[in-house]
Structure 1
């Protein structure tokens, strides 16, 4: 068994399994004999032309977090050919508080968004009349269309779409949409 562990035996075994390339010998001339051989030297030499076969499960190595196919909700509202700009808007979370909440701290309400009851979306629509506004509210998406503007807005929290109300303030040329929030633990948080 002692004969298999010598360097000369390993060279002979390597030469037997794969004849050394001339370029490889020149590149490794300055390296010691122990460092010349490795697991990659056993077997036939691999050519640069051979590539692994492409399969259906190959991963796309882009930096995208998700693909466009995965984002389906609200995608039918997007119209790339529509040149109308998106209006300015603000989303404000609103909660009803009384003196017992502010001064005495008797309820379990706090300033976090978990204790908010309503979501108010303020949309600035300069040069727009009330009759021109088309508003469609879903549980997680708000769609607003006017002759001058379009807005497709994904809401940060689910809402009761049938229980909300909208008010157009003519002086500010602003539409205020108030939507009650629909969350799983509202009966606990708002008790």
Structure 2
């Protein structure tokens, strides 16, 4: 045991240990600097195209496609920043189907939260517009309305059933009311 202690206490061993520890500390400092310089406030939010990392499971190496279909959000084909038409005023409301047993007796588990709402109502104010001039397209998470004067591309807060729904134009208030049935993942829990 004395021999190993004397080997460790030799000056050359201590210098070697000191050099080893100093190199490790310098490497940690350099790693910290490169890590902090790689992450900055500009990295918050969606990845910029030059920083996107694609894995082999997402994209086939032999494919000639330049992007994956899953990377494109719903309704992005309607986005047109060069379109001079203005966006109309609109509001989004939630609607519940309730009966007297819900209001007076409280027999269902419904409350006033949006989690218990079945329908999504979008009211769009369109002054000086005729119903025949409107073009309305509903997708699962996107509403596209076009008239000669207005254009509205609205990303909906919840997915909706795009096969059902109703639109009614009220000429007296110049308002289009679009009622859509929501198709959320956990609705079977809220409405059972």
Over residues 57-80 of structure 1, what are the superposed CA-to-partner deviations in whole Å (9 max), with x where a residue is unaligned?
Answer: xx6752341137745321111111
- What is the CA–CA distance in structure 1 between the aligned matches of 2:89 and 2:163, rounded to whole Å? 24
- What is the CA–CA distance in structure 2 between the aligned matches of 1:112 and 1:138, rounded to whole Å? 25
Matched residues, number: 153
Over residues 161-191 of structure 1, what are the superposed CA-to-partner deviations in whole Å (9 max), with x where a residue is unaligned?
Answer: 1210100011111100001111233334223
Secondary structure of the 1:153 match is strand
- What is the CA–CA distance in structure 2 between the aligned matches of 1:116 and 1:161, rounded to whole Å? 17
Structure 2's unaligned 5+ residue stretches are: 1-6, 27-33, 50-70
- The ranges of structure 1 where at least 4 consecutive aligned residues each deviate by more than 3 angstroms after the TM superposition are 67-71
Secondary structure of the 2:145 match is strand
Structure with a larger share of its residues in helix: 2
Over residues 70-127 of structure 1, what are the superposed CA-to-partner deviations in whole Å (9 max), with x where a residue is unaligned?
Answer: 4532111111111111111111010011222122111111111121111100001111
Which structure would you say has the larger Rg? 1
* 1:107 aligned partner: 108
Superposition TM-score, scaled by structure 1 size: 0.68
* 1:73 aligned partner: 74
* 2:180 aligned partner: 179
- What is the CA–CA distance in structure 2 between the aligned matches of 1:168 and 1:142, rounded to whole Å? 16
* 2:152 aligned partner: 151
- What is the CA–CA distance in structure 2 between the aligned matches of 1:90 and 1:169, rounded to whole Å? 15
Structure 1's unaligned 5+ residue stretches are: 15-36, 43-51, 53-58
* 1:39 aligned partner: 23
- CA pair 135-41 structure 1, distance change in 2 beyond 3 A: closer
Q: How far has the Cα of 1:135 moved from its partner?
A: 0.2
Secondary structure of the 2:124 match is strand
Q: How far has the Cα of 1:137 moved from its partner?
A: 0.2
